[in-house]
Structure formats: C-alpha cells, structure tokens
Structure 1
Amino acid sequence: MQRATEKIAQICAQPRDIVTMWHDTSAVVAGVVPYFQTPCWYTVDPASLLMTSHFHHGLAEFPGEWLAAEYYEDDAQSIPDVMRSPLGISTLHEVTGGDPTNSPRWQRNMTMGGDQELIARLRTRNGEVWGALSLYREPGRPLFTESEKNFLAAVAPCLADGARRALLFGQAEEPEYADSPGLLVLNENWDIESATPGVARWMADIPGGDWDRGELPAAVTTLAGRTLRLAEDRNRAGEVALSRVLSRSGAWVVLHGACLNSTGQRRIAVIVEPAHPSRIYPLLMSAYGLTEREKEVTRLVLQGASTTQISNDLTVSAHTVQQHLKSIFDKTGVRSRRDLVGKVFFAHYEPRFRDNEKRAQADKALRGGPWSD
C-alpha cells in the first residue's frame, strides 16, 4: 500500500492529460484493491459538485437513463450523494444492509456483470472536490474491506490534485476563455522551451518580468527553483510547488510547478490560472437573472446543503432561506431542490459531460466547469 501510494503521488504530480492519468493510476489501484473489468472515473466542478466528465474504458457513452438516475432517482447510493456525504466513500452493499437486490442501481450494474460497487470521492486536502472513482466486483467475490477503503481514502487527495492539474493542463493547451490557464515549460537553466497561447498575457500581468525580452517574473523563477528542490527530495515525492501572486491588474493568480522527466532531462512545467476560476456564478446570473444572494443559495443547494446549513453559512434566518428558494424556483421554473439540481446539470453540465466523451475518444484533453454556450 505504501509503494502504491507513492507511485500514485508521482503519477498525479505530472501535468498530463487526465485520461492518461486515469489509465496509469488504475493499474496501481488494481494491485491493492482488485476490481472487476475497469474503474469508472468522474470529474466534478468543485463549485457545484456536478459531474463534468466520466471515463470508463470500453464505455464510450454513458447511457442517458443512467445519467438521469444519478440526479433524479431515489436509490441507496449515487455519485452526487457520495460527493456530499461526510465520509466520501460508500459501498452499495453496506448502504443496503447487505441486500442490494431492490436497488435500481444494482440491477443496472448486474447487466454489466458487476455486483458490488464502491464509490470514493476525490477531495483535496483543502476541501475541494474534483472527482470520483467507482470500482466494481463481480458476483461471488469478497466484499470491499476496511483496509481497501482506507487506502482509497488515503490516495484520494493525490487523485483530486492530479485531476485538477490535468484539467488545467487541458484548458492551457486549448484555451476556451480569455482567462484560461497558461502553460510554460522551462529547462533547468530557466530557458523557455514552449508556451501555450495564453501564457504571454499572464506573464505580462505578473509583476517583475518582461515577456517581450524573454525575462520571466521573479515569482515564476522562484517557483521553478522550488520545483527542482522538491523533485530532489525523496521524502516529498509527488509534491507540487504552489505560489499565489497578486497581478498588476489587481487579481490574484496561482502558479503550479511540476518537474517533467519524460525526455530524460529535467524540465519544469509552470501552470498559471486565476485564483478563483469558478464559472457557475456568472452562468447563474446570466441564464436566470439570480441576485447575488440567490446565486449563493443555489450554489449551496447544488452542493446538497440543508436549509439549516444554508442559514448558518450565509448568516440569515431559515425563513429568509425559504424566501430565496421560492424566488429561485420561480426564476428557474422548478418546484423542488432536486428539480433545481437536475435542471442546472442537464442545461449547463450535461453538454460538457457529452463533449468530454467525444474529446476522450479523439485523444483530446478533457475540460472542467459548466458548458460555455
């Protein structure tokens, strides 16, 4: 388990496309937690906890009725429920008291040859959820053990960080927005080997450099040095250097550093992104005309918060929360929280989910966040 944990940390520290990362980590997980056929990996938007992609080798398209069941069906277990749960890990046999035969989810799994299902949330150490992992076992196999679940819980933060980094890598390679992440690759002498289209704008906005003359900001070279030192420290294998910088335009940006060894010579990859890149807020404002407070309430509903939790989080009364919900339901044309979650997912995330399926088949990098019309 220790060797597998270290290997997963090393894999996830590399900036690479997410499908390759899933492939490589699946092989390592199998050595500790045996599973049937192949895992199903998901990414989610940490701002809403709604799914943005899935990858299951051999299943190019997630059946539409299965996707609808995740958000509308009453069942003992679902991806959204595990994303919102206190533990973040669940097995179908446990939540059904050992008899899952009445579960529609179990019945669907059985059509694919799977009996048991384990779902593990991928959450970083600072609390951001970036994905999920589903593992299956065929009939007659031993139940998932506490030791196996503890292993998955231990590697979940690395897998979450890896998913986040891979999605950044994808957005940097094919920028989708004006503020999409940028990727810069340096050699050991800090010379620029390659740069994605969005990097020039980011480098010009970070104080202390001159991109036109090839001079990098001090924040970038400092991060590159820290990245190399981390790579030389075996006790910190897989750790990624991070830095937060105030740009000239007054916005905070985050720099990620990772060491690349694929060519035999060490290179440093630096990814730069906005400190707060969530796109669910402007989407809710433009699509439904929600106020700032209604936007906050909607975000918490999407994350599964109760009225009491929303009340405490926003420091308002439960009655005020209910009034906001009534207004949100009117503006979005729904009648319940479940309908609200389903509407936001199928209107703004399901297109991203389907596009990512096509991108995976075409060996293109996957993307996160809601769909951009």
Structure 2
Amino acid sequence: MGADSLQHAADKITRLCAEPRDLVSLWQQSTEVLASAVPHFWAPCFYTLDPVSLLMTSHFQAGLEEFPQEWLASEYYEVDVNKIADVARSPTGISTLYDATDGNPSSSPRWHRNMSMGGDQELVARLRTRSGEVWGAVGLYRAPDEPRFTEPEKSFIQTIAPALAEGARCALLLGQAREPEFADSPGLLILDDHWELESATPGVDRWLSELPDGDPDTGRLPSSVLTLAGRVLHLAENPARTTDIPVSRVLSRTGRWMVLHGACLTSTGDRRIAIIVEPANPSRLYPLLMSAYGLTEREKDITKLVLQGASTSEIAAELVVSAHTVQQHLKSIFDKTGVHSRRDLVGKVFFAHYEPRFRDNERRALHDQPLRGEPWRS
C-alpha cells in the first residue's frame, strides 16, 4: 500500500477513535481498516491493559471467543520474548518475533504456539496515549512463507497506536459510566448542541458538585464542562484537526484532580456532546494489594513496577533507593504474597485479580455488554 493510502487509513482509524463507541465495535471497525493497510493472517488480536500494572484485562480477536488458558500461563510464567508487557515498556513500543529472536523465531515457544494456529510472523505493538498511559496492545500475524512486516508497515502501526489507545480508554470509560459497578465509577453527561443537559448517568451529580462553580441543584453546569463542550464542537467543525483529543484536567473543590473527556456524537443525526468525568489517575491496584496482602506503600510501589517488568536497577532508579533496599522490600513482598520469585508474583497477581476480569470480559463481549478495564474486585 502506498503512502497516500496508508495516510488515508490512519485518518480513518483516528476518526473511528474520536467518536465514543463500545470497545468491541471499535476493535471490529479497526480490524477492517487494518486488513487493507497491513495485510495479515486471520485477524488482529487486540488487548486492553491496566495502565498501572500493564497486566491484560481483555482481548478481542474475531473468531477466538476464548483465549487459551495455556497461552495466559505462558505469557506470565514462561521465559520467552515478545511478551506484551515487555513490548509496552520498550523504547519503540513495537516488536516482531523475527527481530526479537535475531532472525530465529523457531527458538521461541511463542512461535510454536502461533504456528499451531497457522500464524508465523508476529508483530506486537503497544497502544499508548500521547500523555504516556498504555491502555492496550495489538498483535498481527502472517502465515508461513509470507513476507516479514516492513518498516513502513511498522511505522503505520506506531502512527495509529495513540489514537487506538485513546479510543480504548474512552470506550472503557463510557462502558463504566453507563453501567457503574463501583462508587468511584466515572460519570457521563450528554449535552445537546445548545450545551443544555440532555441526560446523565446515575451518580454524576457527585462529580459535578466537586467541580468549581457548578451547581447540580439549579442545573448550572461547571464552566470546565462548558469550556470542554465548546472545544468538542469546534473540533467537530474542523475535521482536519481530528487528531486532537478534547481532554481537560481540573482541580476540584476537595483538592483532588478530576479529568474530563469530551467527544461529539453524531449517530442520531443531531449533534450531541458527551462529557465523561472521572477522578484523575484512579489506581484500583493499590487498594487491591493492600486489602489482599497488607503491603506497605513502598511495597505497593515496588510491586507495581515488578508487574510492569522493571528490573531491580530500574526500580531503584525510579524510586531513588538502593538496589539492596529494593531486594529487602522484595523479600517482604514475597513473604506476604506467598511466592518465591518475581515471575511467581506476577503470575499470582494476574491469575488472582486479572484473569477473572479477563474471562468476565469474554462473556461480556458475547452478550454485547461493555468491557471493563479495572482488575477484578470481589
């Protein structure tokens, strides 16, 4: 495919991600675009990741309703290359199995699993927003004897990755707002093109009351909501700027930061504005680790980095402590969680708190329910 065609495909992906839709629909429609832009075997495998831990929370691949259990076990317990968390943390955010094995993919257990399904070449790319949060990954495959992925094809995937990440994040937030499970779930406002409130999800008044100069009792919307609505409409009238993502960060009355996401809805023919309101950087991993294992604040910080795949030296540098201190904390973490190694720690946290969400999302996808992005909380 030529450069103009690839740019057209990238623009189409960006437009798909700019309008809120459920996650499965986003992956399905993105699959159609990818099929023409980057030829591949079967269908792309999309994943959502928890940006805090980089552990998988869902997958979607047309024709594969249930991800094989042994593949999950190998992802978190087996020594191999091209693993999703490793690619997510890499400098480029993209890797092929051919490159990761120095041209000898048959040396990887991952390659043998792929071949059992008919796939040979494997490309894995992270989906990271421009603000730096990794919300997912995508895997593409090619049949035996097909050519390797080219540099222009890799560049195309890297170009569309931020849009796909923003689209995934927005789809997850939209699903949580429409079907809230917890008290801290995001809220959704729908405004008409005159910026009048048309509808809202239950509980959104609590978030609005935290925003400066808003008054839910009188119906007056906060200025931060109205300002973002104006940006959404302006971008909708200037399609050449569809790569812009309308997001704002606001300090609430209680002193915590709130994040507002905006998008234009046109599916009904009448232009409407969707505003999603949520607390900034809600880390559901931390209370989970505290309640399940009684980790200290420092132990939670170290565990988060271990889950992401950081080495001892990387953890020490990020937390500004010595490598010896990291090792001492790791010993305490292992004792509290009942494991003996980093790999066992990652596997235990995934299969105890993320694999149930992963399987729940498979059921949700089959029943047209919104997918969830947070770890499982019993």
TM-score range, shorter chain: over 0.9
Per the alignment, residue 122 of structure 2 pairs with: 117
Q: Distance in 2 between matches of 1:42 and 1:192?
A: 34
Residue 55 of structure 1 pairs with residue 51 of structure 2:
no
Kept in 2: contact 1:9–1:239 (CA 8 A): no
- What amino acid sits opposite 1:333 in the alignment? G
Aligned to 1:130: 135
Equivalent position of 1:211 in the other structure: 216
Given the alignment, which residue of 60, 65, 87 partners 1:82?
87
Runs of 4+ aligned structure 1 residues displaced above 6 Å come to none
C-alpha separation in 1, matches of 2:334 and 2:214: 49
Taking the aligned partners of 1:261 and 1:238, their CA distance within structure 2 comes to 17
TM-score (norm 1): 0.97
| Range 101-110 or range 332-341, more displaced | 101-110
TM-score normalised by L of structure 2: 0.96
Deviation of residue 107 (structure 1)? 1.5
1:166-205 superposed matches below 5 A: 166-205=171-210
CA apart distance, 1:83: 1.9
Q: Is 2:250 the partner of 1:245?
A: yes
| Amino acid in structure 1 at the alignment position of 2:39 | P
1:337 to 326, 339, 342: 342
Letter of the 2:192 counterpart: N
Q: Quick check: 1:361 aligned with 2:363?
A: no
Deviation of 1:276 (Å): 1.9
Q: For the residues of structure 2 that align with 1:12 and 1:332, how far apart are their CA atoms?
A: 39
Tell me the alpha carbon deviations over residues 303-338 of structure 1, each in whole angstroms, 9 at most, x when there is no partner: 111111111111111111111111111111111111
Contact 1:82–1:90 (Cα < 8 Å) also in 2 = yes
Q: Is the 8 A contact 1:119 1:134 kept in 2?
A: yes
Say yes or no: does 1:146 pair with 2:147. Answer: no
Provide the rounded CA distance (Å) in 2 between the counterparts of 1:315 and 1:239.
Answer: 35
Pairs within 5 Å for 1:197-346: 197-346=202-351
Alignment partner, residue 26 of structure 1: 31
CA distance in 2, matches of 1:85, 1:218: 40
SS in 2 for 1:211: coil
SS of the equivalent of 1:193 reads: strand
Aligned to 1:5: 10
Shift of 1:160: 0.8
| Larger mean Cα displacement after TM superposition, 344-353 or 304-313 | 304-313
Compute the displacement of 1:127 (Å): 1.4
Give the deviation of 1:139 after TM superposition: 1.3
Greater Cα offset, 180-189 or 80-89 = 80-89
Q: Distance in 1 between matches of 2:313 and 2:167?
A: 34
CA distance in structure 2 between the partners assigned to 1:210 and 1:87 by the alignment: 46
Percent same amino acid among aligned pairs? 68
Q: 1:244-284 deviations in whole A, cap 9, x for unaligned?
A: 11222222111111111111221110000111211011111
Residues of 1 paired with 2:304 and 2:149: CA distance? 33
Alignment partners' CA distance in 1, 2:170 and 2:361: 16
SS of the residue 1:7 aligns to:
helix
Q: 2:21, 2:218 → 1: CA distance?
A: 29
Name structure 1 gaps, 5 residues minimum.
Answer: none
One-letter amino acid of the counterpart of residue 119, structure 1: V
Q: Give, in angstroms, the shift of residue 124 of structure 1.
A: 1.2
Give the paired residue count: 373
Q: Residue 320 of structure 1 aligns to which amino acid in structure 2?
A: T
State whether structure 2 residue 83 is matched by structure 1 residue 108. Answer: no
**Mapped partners of 1:331, 1:84: distance in 2:** 27
Distance (Å, rounded) in 1 between the aligned partners of 2:363 and 2:377: 16
Partner SS, residue 212 of structure 1 = coil
Gap regions ≥5 residues in structure 2: 1-5
Moved more, 206-215 or 327-336: 206-215
CA shift, 1:229, in A, is 0.8
Alignment match, 2:3: none
